[in-house]
Amino acid sequence: MGYPLVHVAFGCNTRGRPRIARGVIAVGQRAIGAVACGIVAGGLVSIGVVSFGVVSLGVVSVALASAVGVNAIAPYAIGVTAIGIVAHGIATVGWVAH
């Protein structure tokens, strides 16, 4: 599909922009992949400070299925501030809020 199995990318490219890790397993400052780990991460399973995906873990997590983090937005959300159908945390908004 044009992407490597594992891609690790840190630092800046020749233009001075941060490099983006793109692969099935992506690790870097910015990562996009099936499993992505980085400061900003996006993918099926994403772990990072700011993460987007189907399942997300991070400080700010936005997901299609479940999110865990300080600020979590997903159908199933766990966090200090959680928004979702089922939300667990301190400040929660949801159909079932705990």
Tens of pLDDT, residues 18-64: 999 999 999 999 999 999 999 999 999 999 999 999 999 999 999 99
Is 79 in contact with 91 (CB distance < 8 Å)?
no
Give the position of tokens 């793109």.
Answer: 22
Bridge partners of residue 46, in order along the sequence: 36, 56
Tens of pLDDT, residues 70-81: 999 999 999 999
